[in-house]
Amino acid sequence: MIGVVRFAVPPSPADKLAIALVVEPDRSRPLPPGQREEATRHLLQTAGDAGIGLVATRPEGDVERMLGQAWPFPSPFRVTVRTVPLADGLDRVEARARRSLERMGLPRGDAVLVQNAGDLAGAEGRVLWDRLQALKDRGVFRKVGFIATVEDGPALLARRFQPDVVQLTCNILDQRAARSGVIAALASQGIEVHLASVFAQGLLFANRESLPPELAAHGIALSRTRRRLAEARVDPMQAALAYALTLPGVASVIASVASSAELRAIIAASHAPRPDIDWDALALDETPAALASRPRLRLVSAA
């Protein structure tokens, strides 16, 4: 009897890559409604063809509706949904999470994430969590989690609430989540770790002249990081993805995309060989508050 020899297929970077669709005038030209829907379908087709399986969404804007009109059938995608702030009321939080799925035409979602981990630290944090757990128990979502910064103490919150998913900020400029052991601690608990802001909210692509005033003091440090990448002959996008995709304990790396052209560039960069770089030397010695905060900086270029 002749045995069959099977060769192991190496994992693709797209196995970890996830996308978040954004609509920003400085990254894509405005399109009429019909063309915008077609562009979204093209973007999702590009993602599906590359093997990307996760789409991260947020309740603001019109992205949920656009996705609902553009999903391929059958859809290969899992979807994460963010809550609205707890200040809107518990009933509103639950209703809006359900509404997100309705807008996207989905019977269920992969995960619902508390958008601000600070909501869990307050007096109503446990009640909020129990509401979301009830949605999971009813099969509306498969997982429950939260979005946090290092300052939120995500490891402590995880021990208290035992989430399925935690989304963190981590990139080559702000490596604190990795250096502090937070990612490893979460992964050791069996928690699915998602990374966001992997392109440092656009800072990796900005020159000193385009920095907003609150970041001007960090211009020299940013220039030094870009110079080191240039000396290593590594594109900033390639470096950012190589760092994030190879961090131990990370399940998904979320890249924000405004067009299929941006996504194709990200996919190509993710497949580039991992550069031999001293990652520690690329991090900013002092993380700017604007980089650690949740709102995205309006800077040039992609993701």
Residue 128 pLDDT > 70: yes
Task: Give the total number of structural domains in the chain.
Answer: 1
Range of the domain at 264: 13-292
Residue at 3 is within a domain: no
Do the domain assignments include residue 111? yes
Q: What is the CATH number of the domain that holds 284?
A: 3.20.20.100
- Give residue 179's pLDDT: 95
Rg (alpha carbons) of the chain, rounded to whole number: 20
3-state secondary structure of 124: coil
pLDDT of 9 strictly over 70: no
Task: Measure the CA–CA gap between 169 and 177, rounded to whole angstroms.
Answer: 7
Residue 287 domain flag: yes
pLDDT, average across residues 94-106: 97
Give dist(CA 213, CA 211) in Å, integer.
6
What pLDDT, on a 0 to 100 scale, did the predictor assign at position 63? 94
For residue 259, being part of any structural domain is answered with yes
In a domain, 4, yes or no: no
**CB–CB of 54/253 below 8 Å?**
no
Please enumerate in sequence order all residues whose Cβ is within 8 A of that of 40, keeping only pairs 6 or more positions apart, or say none: 21, 66, 67, 69, 70
Q: Which residues contact residue 189 at a Cβ distance below 8 angstroms, ignoring those fewer than 6 apart?
A: 158, 159, 162
Rounded CA-CA distance 79/60 in Å is 15
d(CA 291, CA 283) in angstroms, rounded, equals 12
Query: Are the C-beta atoms of 282 and 47 separated by less than 8 Å?
Result: no
Question: pLDDT tens for residues 148-192?
Answer: 999 999 999 999 999 999 999 999 999 999 999 999 999 999 999
Catalogue the long-range contacts made by 156-164 (C-beta closer than 8 Å, 24 or more residues apart).
157/117, 157/120, 157/121, 158/185, 158/186, 158/189, 158/191, 159/189, 160/120, 161/120, 161/129, 162/189, 163/191, 164/111, 164/191, 164/192
pLDDT (tens digit, 9 = 90+) per residue, 101-121?
A: 999 999 999 999 999 999 999
* Residue 255 covered by a domain: yes
Is 300 part of a structural domain of the chain? no
Q: What is the largest CA-CA distance in the chain?
A: 73
The residue among 106, 42, 99, 113 whose CA lies nearest residue 77 is 106
- pLDDT tens per residue, range 206-250: 776 667 776 776 777 888 888 899 888 999 999 999 999 999 999
Q: What is the pLDDT of residue 294?
A: 41
DSSP string covering 205-255, please? G--GGG--GGGGGGHHHHHHHHHHHHHTT--HHHHHHHHHHTSTTEEEEEE
Residue 222 lies in a domain: yes
Find the helix or strand (DSSP H, E) in which 174 lies: none
Which residues, including other chains, have CB under 8 Å from residue 8's CB and lie 6 or more apart? none
Q: How far apart are CA 103 and CA 46, in angstroms?
A: 22
Structure tokens of 242?
């190589």
Q: Which helix (H) or strand (E) holds 76?
A: none
Distance of CA 255 to the CA centre of its chain: 6
pLDDT at 211 (0 to 100): 72
Whole-structure pTM value: 0.88
Length of the chain: 303
At 270, give phi and psi (nearest 5°): -70, -25
